[in-house]
Structure 1
Amino acid sequence: DLSLSFTETFHELLNERLMGAEGTRLDEDFLQMEKLLARTTEFLQPNPAYRAKLSMLSTVSRLRGQGRGSGYPQTEGMLGDAMVRYGQQLGGASEFGGALLQVGGALQEVSRARELLDADVTRGFLDPLQEMERAELKDIRFQLKKVNGRRLDFDYKRRRRERLPAEEVQQAGEKFLSSKELAERSMFLLLHHDLDQIRHLAALIAALLNFHRSSQGILLSLQQDLQTRPKKIRVRSDHSGSISFYHQPTITAAPPPGLNSINAGGASSGGGGGGGGGGGGGPPPDRPCCRALFSFQPSRDGELSFGQGDVIALSRRVDDNWFRGELGGRSGLLPVSYVDVLVPLPSP
């Protein structure tokens, strides 16, 4: 009987698909719910790459005998680890190294907040939906297959009702209608679980809100600290070396007519004593100049090399990133971010 039923169903399917025979039409509400169910299934499917990653982590955890897999590698955590590592290599004497450590630590905190977000969303939003996928949707898909099979069986017997007993045709029709009503009721109940779905959405939004609040607090604190760092560096540098700084005989270029020279007594690299005698109590230079915060080695022609603490006479500003200046009879380009302007250039 099973073989005969399959043959009849397959024959009816070919008859409809290839010969264009019209089968029993389902009502519009039933067809509309079928479409909605397909959409719901699509929304529940995770990103393929993310699903593969979770599967791989779960497999590794089982092989190692761990209770739960290691966390997904967050982008903020990877960047934070790199900044902390290179900040430690630069050492505590480097202001930039200290800033790297600070930013890296903040990004690691953001990464931990994102891991909490993943856990909260999985527990409050994804797990309930996946449970619905495993239980209710799986059962409905099975019912829909049964509806389609019984419809084909009914249509096959209906077309041959002259050669078949009326009771057999009637029984096939009743089975089809019973399966259709059961599938329709299951889909209707699933699509009208409004309260459950709203609770799941509320859990998702609450998790997102907690993550963004936590991240905002971390990043706002970091931003304030980074904004005060340059001021602290400048104050500390001014208090520690402002007097001896002007004694350094680093500028030998002659000033333009009408402008006072800077450190006129320091013409040679070994004349620290002579430069100190004339510059200790003199007024600050009035020619546009800057002090080097870091040493700089040129990477291309036309750039000016200098060491930390050198005073460089400024000729003009080339753009937002470069000055042109003079030091020790040499001239060239110097990066704006490497120097602290003492006497600014005149406004154009």
Structure 2
Amino acid sequence: MSLAGLKKQLNKANQSIREKIGGAEATKLDDDFLEMEKKIDTMDELSIELITKTKEYLQPNPASRARLAAQNQFSKIRGQARTTQYPQPEGTLGDCMMKYGRELSEGSVSSEYGEALGEMGETLKQMAEVKYNLDATVKQNYLDPLQQLHEKDIKEVLHHRKKLQGRRLDYDCKKRQKEKGSAGSKVSDDDLRSAMEKFEESKELAENGMYNLLESDVEQISQLQTLANSMLEYHQQSTELMEQLCSKLQSRVDDASSRPRAHHRPKKVTEDLLDHYNGTDSTDAPPAYASISAKGSRHSPRSPSHSPFHSPYASPHASPRHSPRASPSNSPFHSPVATPSDFPIQDFSTFEGHLAPPTPPRQRPHSPTHHQPAQQPCCKALYDFEPENEGELGFQEGDLITLTNKIDENWFEGTVKGQSGFFPVNYVEVVVPLL
């Protein structure tokens, strides 16, 4: 800086101190100019706040924003063009639902809840993609123009205002020195006129710049409209996705509500051993039993299940081992007292230190006392029935039930084992119908 320039800066500083402390009078500007200065200051603060708050709206998590900015900065330093995307919360939640939904749906036991989780997770992933599109659209059509307004247009106006302030101080300093005529002052009329002209020129540039910036309402409102349209499109697409999801979930709720509730009987650990003792092998089970064991019966609303210790080939004329009276609960392995007739005589010397399974009991002649007299209305239980409500009659597969009344087309009334009550028609087979 030259000596003249340094002296000029000292004069400006001196004038500024005199105005603030000494009460020196400064050249006043018109009210319209001062009003425009206030509005430009407001726009400067507004642009900064809008940029910050819009980014917070698009990317709410401050920690993720900071980590993302650091990663992108490191990529630029290393010369890599990779850009890391902000982790949208919808996408994070969707990944979680899809992961555990798959785990619940895997295996032989399917889960409607797991499939519903997968559908909702997929929808949330689609919403995350819509949010990424919103992020890109807002950045391109709103944030970038706003950033340009702040860094270029407003910055240029503020530069003209700063230059105007310096020339005003220079003009006021020379005018004060000229008016006082202090000793050693060499301010001529030409110097004062030159300072005044520069001051007027700077005022005109600053005022025109502020006016043009304040009159750009159409452009700024258009950018605001672009932001609103982008947000509207995002919410419309999200609403459409959520409506489709709610419809699918409602269909799943209806299907699950109308599906008969399966009757689950826990499988005993010793079931295979008991089958072996009873003379059957689970691996040689007939197809009917295998299908019932795997999927459960669907012949009735309550899905009655066959007893695992009862052969599906049991009939009223079967041997005592397969008859309703020869159930596992009456076998020697389930009763605390076993009759000698249940164990046929056999040689145990061929077994090494353990008791071999007994041979099946001897066939006993079919006795009509096993069933109710043919003249009395009765029916035979096809499945186990466990009462769930008061007044219902419970029985097991193969029981012979005496019929006393038919309530309606779906319910019978009868007695078995000294108990009476109601039971569903589709659980039994009528042997002797009601008169």
Q: So what's the TM-score if we normalise by structure 1?
A: 0.67
How far has the Cα of 1:230 moved from its partner?
A: 1.9
Decide whether the 8 Å contact of 2:102 with 2:118 is kept in 1. yes
Decide whether the 8 Å contact of 1:60 with 1:69 is kept in 2. no
Q: Aligned match of 1:199 in 219, 222, 226?
A: 222
Whether 2:413 is the aligned partner of 1:286: answer no
How far has the Cα of 1:182 moved from its partner?
A: 0.5
Partner of 1:120: 137
Structure-2 change in CA distance of 1:102 and 1:168 (3 Å): same
Partner of 2:6: 3
Q: Larger % of helix: which?
A: 1
Higher RCO (C-alpha under 8 Å, 6+ residues apart): 1
Partner of 1:167: 190
Partner of 1:344: none
State the Cα deviation string for residues 143-169 of structure 1 (Å, max 9, x = none): 111011111111112221133222222
Whether 2:165 is the aligned partner of 1:148: answer yes
Q: 1:1-348 maps to which residues of 2 (within 5 A)? A: 1-45=4-48, 46-47=51-52, 50=56, 52=66, 55-63=69-77, 65-67=79-81, 69-92=83-106, 93-162=110-179, 163=181, 164-238=187-261, 280=383, 285-287=388-390
Decide whether the 8 Å contact of 2:90 with 2:128 is kept in 1. yes
How many residue pairs were aligned?
Answer: 265
Decide whether the 8 Å contact of 2:260 with 2:302 is kept in 1. no
State the Cα deviation string for residues 302-346 of structure 1 (Å, max 9, x = none): xxxxxxxxxxxxxxxxxxxxxxxxxxxxxxxxxxxxxxxxxxxxx
One-letter code aligned to 1:79? L
CA separation in 2, counterparts of 1:181 and 1:279? 104
How far has the Cα of 1:215 moved from its partner?
A: 0.5
Q: So what's the TM-score if we normalise by structure 2?
A: 0.55
CA separation in 2, counterparts of 1:280 and 1:85? 40
What 5-or-longer segments of structure 1 have no aligned partner?
A: 250-269, 272-276, 290-348
Structure-2 change in CA distance of 1:196 and 1:109 (3 Å): same
Structure-2 change in CA distance of 1:39 and 1:52 (3 Å): farther
Decide whether the 8 Å contact of 1:247 with 1:279 is kept in 2. no
What SS does the aligned partner of 2:389 have? coil
CA separation in 2, counterparts of 1:237 and 1:198? 60
How far has the Cα of 1:52 moved from its partner?
A: 4.8
The percentage of aligned residue pairs carrying the same residue is: 34
Decide whether the 8 Å contact of 1:87 with 1:97 is kept in 2. yes
CA separation in 2, counterparts of 1:111 and 1:229? 24
Tell me how large the CA RMSD over aligned residues is: 3.1
Structure-2 change in CA distance of 1:279 and 1:6 (3 Å): farther
One-letter code aligned to 2:13? F
CA separation in 2, counterparts of 1:288 and 1:127? 76
Decide whether the 8 Å contact of 1:61 with 1:70 is kept in 2. no
One-letter code aligned to 1:20? G
What SS does the aligned partner of 2:115 have? helix
CA separation in 1, counterparts of 2:190 and 2:391? 108
Decide whether the 8 Å contact of 1:243 with 1:280 is kept in 2. no
Structure-2 change in CA distance of 1:288 and 1:12 (3 Å): farther
What 5-or-longer segments of structure 2 have no aligned partner?
A: 57-64, 182-186, 263-296, 308-327, 330-379, 393-435
CA separation in 2, counterparts of 1:220 and 1:229? 14
CA separation in 2, counterparts of 1:225 and 1:190? 52
State the Cα deviation string for residues 206-235 of structure 1 (Å, max 9, x = none): 211111111010011111111222221233
Q: Larger C-alpha radius of gyration, 1 or 2?
A: 2
One-letter code aligned to 1:198? I
One-letter code aligned to 2:24? A
